[in-house]
Structure 1
Amino acid sequence: MAAGGLNMLRNILTQLPPSERKVAEFILKNPEKLLHSTAGEISQMAHSSSAAVIRLCKSIGVKGYQELKVRVAGDLVKDHEKGYRDIESGESLEGIVQKTTSNSIQSLTDTADIINYAELEAAVDALAKARTIHCFGIGASHLIAMDAQQKFLRIHKGATAFTDAHLVASLIANAEEGDVVLGISFSGETKEVINILSLAQKRGIKTISLTKYGSSSVSDLADIPLFTSASNEAPLRSAATASRFAQLFVIDILFLGIATTEFEQTVQYIDNSREAIQFLKNSK
């Protein structure tokens, strides 16, 4: 069942204009009322307008009011705990394990709920056809770029992952048709990633972004925007604990999506890689 409507609203709430925010806030407080109301009725209860309801649907990336209702209904049926729990002073190791596990699962579930499958399919198709994939991120996002690079290399797909923006710019300046730039920035506002995607756009190179949900400088620049949940992380988790898992989750989906396009060949590449690594382990 489709879900993620409430998560979409939470993620984008602060970016909405006042008229749409009124509607979003009302739905978040009264999700059950959405299921049995028309767009006009919801707008009246939220002290907004029917046009604002329609614009809100467009802002969060759903096809219309009916899809929003279906997704919110899915959220209510799921009946799983919402919210992220922070580590407290003097937290026991058992508590840390439980909270970290719960938060990570929550992040993956929230991200799965907001996936746009049309964009995901376009991304997999572009990556599968790419001659070289240039993965770029700064700080924690560079770790995600490196993970993507090593996965693509294992299936005989050319891939780079450098932190030096000047070097990446040189690669893009000489990129060929069919190359793809994968820009990773949780905030969507990392200056270096913005500049690299802008350069790729100028050069006519296809771009894919991976950011938190909602409009951002990075996602707006990309030909194919992909998102992870932008659920509010607690203070001690500002180093992107759960968001990192969500980003790795999307990279795994892209990798497996590529693998299924040429399954037998991919299996052979992975077997070759495994044998080569084993050879190194056995060498004296």
Structure 2
Amino acid sequence: MGIASGGLVLLSEMRETLPPSEQKIADYILENPEKTVGMTVSELGELSQTSGAAVTRLCKSLKLKGFQELKLRINGDLGRKVETIDRDIKPNEPVSITIQKVTEQAVQTLLETAELIDSQQLELAVKAIVKANNIHFFGVGASGISAIDAQQKFLRIHKASTVSTDLHMGATIVANTSKEDVVFGISFSGNTFEVEKILELANEKGATTISLTKYGQSPISQISDIQLYTSPTREANFRSGATSSRLAQLHVMDILFMSVASKQFDTTITYLDSTREAIEDIQNQTFRKKKK
């Protein structure tokens, strides 16, 4: 993983999936983050009424290298600005306040998402996409917007891609996939029935499956070969239309696209130049026709 923070998010989101002893340690850390960063493994085990071995197991459950990395991440969280603003929208509030609330929520979501990206899983996703014959993106609702955006990006660099937001159409596409293809399912909750069914079918066909969900264990992440995550930050009550989750998904897709582009830099530039020239030519022709 990249940025040295996000430890408290990891703990809070993973807590329910942990064994009882590791839950006790997580609870202690969440209640005493400042004290934890100055402790040793054995001290934390003693104060949480568990053991040093349980602390080590907790770090493994969080997919961290060890207790030192967990402390660094918690320390990074503590160094952040404390949130003082209610992020939900109020009736007739000044637009200046709305700007502040939406922007702060967006910044928090992007930072948390960056913290939760596992660089090893990202590398696996990049390799799979680079060598794939076809990439099939699937999502419904707001996640469908992210799927459409992803397909548009990869088409621009000559990666054969499809997108579907309908279960029947998605199943039709995936039914003809092979082990040389990638099927990419997007669902913030990780529980979307349609996305789960598409990935199950893709697994049966031997395709490489990639999921993009909020951080934590979910039915969709568990059946995927490669798991990518976004921030689990909850939407403000008024903005239940997936504002933050959609932004986080687009952010991960941008990172994935740029990573793929970096791996095949010269050909990517060539394809981007070609698509840009084609669009500019069409726009110029349209402009000339309108002038006549």
Q: Same fold (TM over 0.5)?
A: yes
TM-fit CA distance, 1:63: 2.6
**Is 1:22–1:48's contact at 8 Å kept on the other side of the alignment?**
yes
- Three-state SS of the structure 2 residue aligned to 1:189 is coil
- Three-state SS of the structure 1 residue aligned to 2:227 is strand
**Is 1:127–1:133's contact at 8 Å kept on the other side of the alignment?**
yes
Aligned to 2:161: 159
Give me the whole-angstrom Cα distance separating, in 2, the residues matched to 1:152 and 1:36.
Answer: 46
- Three-state SS of the structure 2 residue aligned to 1:156 is coil
**Is 1:11–1:231's contact at 8 Å kept on the other side of the alignment?**
no
Matched, 1:80 2:81: yes
How many residue pairs are counted as aligned between the two chains?
283
Give me the whole-angstrom Cα distance separating, in 2, the residues matched to 1:167 and 1:197.
Answer: 14
TM-fit CA distance, 1:36: 1.9
**Is 2:45–2:52's contact at 8 Å kept on the other side of the alignment?**
yes
Query: Please, which of 132, 141, 163 is the counterpart of residue 130 of structure 1?
Result: 132
TM-fit CA distance, 1:256: 0.5
**Is 1:86–1:99's contact at 8 Å kept on the other side of the alignment?**
yes
Q: For residues 130-172 of structure 1, what are the alpha-carbon distances to aligned partners after superposition, in whole Å with 9 as ceiling and x for unaligned?
A: 1110000110000000000000001111111112222222222
Give me the whole-angstrom Cα distance separating, in 2, the residues matched to 1:49 and 1:237.
Answer: 43
Compute the RMSD of aligned alpha carbons. 1.8
Change (3 A) 1:181 1:107: same
Range that drifts further, 241-250 or 51-60: 51-60
TM-fit CA distance, 1:17: 4.4
Aligned to 1:109: 111
Aligned to 2:221: 219
**Is 2:148–2:163's contact at 8 Å kept on the other side of the alignment?**
yes
Matched to 1:184, the amino acid is I
Report 1:1-284 matches (<5 A): 2-77=4-79, 79-82=80-83, 85-283=87-285, 284=289
* Structure 2 unpaired stretches of 5+: none
Change (3 A) 1:95 1:193: same
Give me the whole-angstrom Cα distance separating, in 1, the residues matched to 2:104 and 2:177.
Answer: 42
Larger radius of gyration: 2
Matched to 1:155, the amino acid is I
Matched to 1:255, the amino acid is F
Matched to 2:103, the amino acid is T
Normalization by structure 2: what TM-score? 0.91
Change (3 A) 1:82 1:180: farther
Matched to 2:196, the amino acid is I
Give me the whole-angstrom Cα distance separating, in 2, the residues matched to 1:210 and 1:82.
Answer: 27
Matched to 2:267, the amino acid is Q
Give me the whole-angstrom Cα distance separating, in 1, the residues matched to 2:201 and 2:273.
Answer: 37
Give me the whole-angstrom Cα distance separating, in 2, the residues matched to 1:90 and 1:28.
Answer: 36
Q: For residues 102-133 of structure 1, what are the alpha-carbon distances to aligned partners after superposition, in whole Å with 9 as ceiling and x for unaligned?
A: 11011000111121101111111111111110
**Is 2:190–2:213's contact at 8 Å kept on the other side of the alignment?**
yes
**Is 2:178–2:206's contact at 8 Å kept on the other side of the alignment?**
no
Q: For residues 154-201 of structure 1, what are the alpha-carbon distances to aligned partners after superposition, in whole Å with 9 as ceiling and x for unaligned?
A: 111111111222222222221133210110000000011111111111
**Is 1:11–1:229's contact at 8 Å kept on the other side of the alignment?**
no
**Is 1:152–1:159's contact at 8 Å kept on the other side of the alignment?**
yes
TM-fit CA distance, 1:89: 2.7
Matched to 2:265, the amino acid is F
Q: For residues 30-79 of structure 1, what are the alpha-carbon distances to aligned partners after superposition, in whole Å with 9 as ceiling and x for unaligned?
A: 112212222332233233444443332233221322221222123234x3
> Percent identical across equivalent pairs?
51
Give me the whole-angstrom Cα distance separating, in 2, the residues matched to 1:85 and 1:9.
Answer: 23
Give me the whole-angstrom Cα distance separating, in 2, the residues matched to 1:93 and 1:10.
Answer: 33
* Structure 1 unpaired stretches of 5+: none
Give me the whole-angstrom Cα distance separating, in 1, the residues matched to 2:15 and 2:242.
Answer: 20
Give me the whole-angstrom Cα distance separating, in 1, the residues matched to 2:91 and 2:50.
Answer: 43
- Three-state SS of the structure 2 residue aligned to 1:3 is coil
Give me the whole-angstrom Cα distance separating, in 2, the residues matched to 1:36 and 1:187.
Answer: 35
